[in-house]
Structure 1
Amino acid sequence: MMEKIPTQTGARDQLMNDLKTVIQDAEGWLRNSSLTGEDLKAAKEKFERTISAAKADVIHYQEMVVEKTREAAKATDEYVHENPWRAIAIGGAAGLLLGLAISRRD
């Protein structure tokens, strides 16, 4: 069973490692295309396990990103409800700065 990875960076690193392993296994399998019988079966099973692990990590990483996004949206919503005028001022300042940055590009 796959171990839960506690951080987003850890999940991303695990996913990248799994994808690198999939690529390395695929390259090795292609180089050794003379595999037959039990060797071919073992290589295929290892490749399938690696792909399954990578898929599971992608799903886990996606779930983690969605959860973090929900948490950020909830925190933002709470902040805006608790501090409406401050949120309006921050939004206005951000709009002003963005407008200034865009107008200077021309």
Structure 2
Amino acid sequence: MANRLPHASESTKQLREDLQHLTQTVEELVNATADDSRSNIKELRSRAETHLKNTRARLEARGERLYGEARETVTEQADVLDDYVHKNPWTSIGVGTGVGVLIGMLIGRR
């Protein structure tokens, strides 16, 4: 899991830079619209569309990667929990009962 942190930091940094570039391009597009210079607007619009597509693609890729990592982590945790329950059934029953009582008390207070 420690290996994922530097990669996540790089992804976050790249995403931040992409969003800054996109914001700058959109601001330039808005400012150029005031001039109403058609050639300038077309160029800026093209740049904005390119940055938007690239940013969207990176966001989708990052979302899919994060989903896969989360799914893998949850699967690993479920396997560890399953193993623990099979090795310690009475402890697991006691913990489950305690959690159930606690939730029942919290619901009953309302």
Match of 1:94 among 86, 92, 99: 99
Deviation at 1:76, TM superposition (A): 0.8
Could you say which structure has the greater relative contact order, defined with CA pairs below 8 angstroms and 6 or more residues apart? 1
Q: For residues 43 and 7 of structure 1, what CA distance do their matches in structure 2 show?
A: 29
Q: RMSD between aligned alpha carbons?
A: 3.5
Gaps of 5+ in 1: none
Larger Rg: 2
TM-score w.r.t. structure 2 length?
0.66
Give the stretch that moved more between structures: 63-72 or 6-15.
6-15
Residue of structure 2 in register with 1:17 after alignment: 16
Aligned residues: 102
**Which structure 2 residues correspond to residues 48-59 of structure 1 after superposition, within 5 A?**
48-59=53-64
Residue of structure 2 in register with 1:69 after alignment: 74
Q: 1:22–1:51: 8 Å Cα contact kept in structure 2? A: no
Counting helix residues as a fraction of each chain, which structure ranks higher?
2
Which amino acid in 2 is paired with 1:57?
Answer: R
Residue of structure 2 in register with 1:36 after alignment: 41
TM-score w.r.t. structure 1 length?
0.68
Deviation at 1:47, TM superposition (A): 2.1
User: Does the alignment pair 1:80 with 2:85?
Assistant: yes
- Classify 1:75/1:45 alpha carbon distance in 2 versus 1 (closer, same or farther; 3 Å): same
Gaps of 5+ in 2: 34-39
Q: For residues 93 and 11 of structure 2, what CA distance do their matches in structure 1 show?
A: 35
Q: For residues 11 and 67 of structure 1, what CA distance do their matches in structure 2 show?
A: 21
Deviation at 1:60, TM superposition (A): 1.0
